[in-house]
């Protein structure tokens, strides 16, 4: 099926599981050359490129190395980040009082829960929280994360430490119990891990803000993503693609479904988008 509409003026894409192959370990060699070339051509044609990710800034050097152009929205919408100059341009954090209340409530509703928190260039976690990627970053984990809740955080993370609940099961509980205090999502159904942002902060909300600043609306934009933390931007963009090997609910939020992410599917779609009339 051919893609309807005109050439987009902005392309927004998730990274891991969308253009970065699963299991890459934040290694840009897992971004295929065809994908890099497609984004490069779009950029050279004057299309705004936004890499919209749950990653914190410290995980972005590989993206700079692979692309060297474009803009980034990090931490699921909590941060506008210039990865070329390593500058946080704007940030929306969870107030300390909300962090404390979120931890208190989730401890009462999710068994064996443990927490981590991120602000500035710092990452802190509880002894019971076992990091998968930031191993060794926090050399002094604490018994309770409340001891590190000293300033607004761009992200909280909550893990079911015995892995007895899926991320989807945790998300259903958290949205019901703390949805008034935060925006809760996840980026991997099998990780037993929630990603928590301030109220009103999401990839879609921040993408809409930056697009409006450029004089663009949803119909000017396309987006790609694979998991619940992408659903808001898949819903917002006029044309959007959920990855065929992504979360099963992606089809409910996107306008189209792409082939699995490891098949150069985003690159192929962008190549076709670039052939559309302005």
* pLDDT tens by residue, 156-175: 999 998 889 999 999 999 99
Does the pLDDT of residue 148 top 90, yes or no? yes
Q: What percent of the chain has pLDDT over 70?
A: 96
- Please enumerate in sequence order all residues whose Cβ is within 8 A of that of 71, keeping only pairs 6 or more positions apart, or say none: 48, 49, 50, 51, 80, 82, 210
pLDDT the model gives residue 236: 98
Q: How far apart are CA 209 and CA 196, in angstroms?
A: 20
- Please enumerate in sequence order all residues whose Cβ is within 8 A of that of 189, keeping only pairs 6 or more positions apart, or say none: 166, 167, 168, 227, 247
pLDDT the model gives residue 184: 98
The rounded Cα 123 to chain-centroid distance in angstroms is: 17
Q: Inter-axis angle of helices 167-178 and 96-109, to 10 degrees?
A: 120
pLDDT mean over 94-112: 97
* pTM of the predicted structure, to 2 decimals: 0.95
- Residue 198 parent element (H or E): strand 193-198
Do 53 and 16 meet the contact criterion of CB atoms below 8 Å apart?
Answer: yes
- Residue 242 parent element (H or E): strand 239-243
pLDDT mean over 59-68: 94
Residue pLDDT, tens place only, 202-254: 999 999 999 999 999 999 999 999 999 999 999 999 999 999 999 999 999 99
Does the pLDDT of residue 23 top 80, yes or no? no
Do 17 and 229 meet the contact criterion of CB atoms below 8 Å apart?
Answer: no
pLDDT the model gives residue 275: 97
Residue ranges of domains in the chain, CATH in brackets: 10-92+202-273 (3.40.50.1000), 96-198 (3.30.1240.10)
Alpha-helix runs per DSSP H in 93-248: 96-109, 167-178, 203-213, 231-236
pLDDT bucket at 26, cuts 50 / 70 / 90: very low
Nearest residue to 228 (alpha-carbon basis) of 60, 54, 45, 64: 54
Does the pLDDT of residue 136 top 90, yes or no? no
């Amino acid at each position: 099926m051919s893609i309807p509409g005109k050439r987009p003026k902005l392309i927004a894409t998730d990274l891991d599981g969308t253009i970065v192959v699963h299991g890459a370990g934040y290694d840009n060699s897992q971004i295929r050359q065809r994908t890099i070339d497609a984004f490069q051509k779009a950029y050279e044609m004057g299309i705004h490129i936004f890499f919209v990710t749950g990653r914190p800034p410290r995980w972005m050097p590989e993206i700079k190395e692979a692309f060297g152009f474009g803009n980034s929205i990090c931490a699921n919408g909590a941060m506008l980040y210039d990865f070329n100059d390593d500058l946080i341009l704007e940030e929306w954090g969870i107030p300390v009082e909300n962090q404390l209340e979120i931890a208190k409530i989730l401890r009462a509703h999710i068994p064996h829960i443990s927490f981590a928190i991120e602000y500035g260039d710092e990452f802190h976690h509880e002894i019971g929280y076992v990091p998968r990627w930031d191993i060794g970053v926090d050399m002094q984990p604490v018994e309770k994360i409340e001891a590190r809740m000293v300033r607004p955080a761009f992200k909280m993370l909550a893990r079911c430490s015995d892995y007895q609940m899926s991320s989807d099961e945790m998300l259903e509980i958290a949205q019901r119990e703390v949805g008034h205090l935060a925006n809760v999502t996840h980026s991997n159904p099998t990780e037993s891990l929630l990603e928590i942002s301030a109220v009103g902060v999401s990839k879609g909300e921040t993408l809409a803000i930056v697009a409006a600043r450029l004089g663009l609306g949803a119909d000017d934009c396309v987006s790609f993503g694979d998991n619940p933390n992408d659903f808001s931007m898949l819903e917002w963009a006029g044309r959007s693609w959920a990855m065929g090997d992504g979360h099963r609910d992606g089809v409910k939020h996107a306008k189209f479904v792409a082939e699995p992410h490891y098949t150069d599917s985003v690159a192929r779609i962008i190549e076709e988008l670039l052939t559309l009339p302005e």
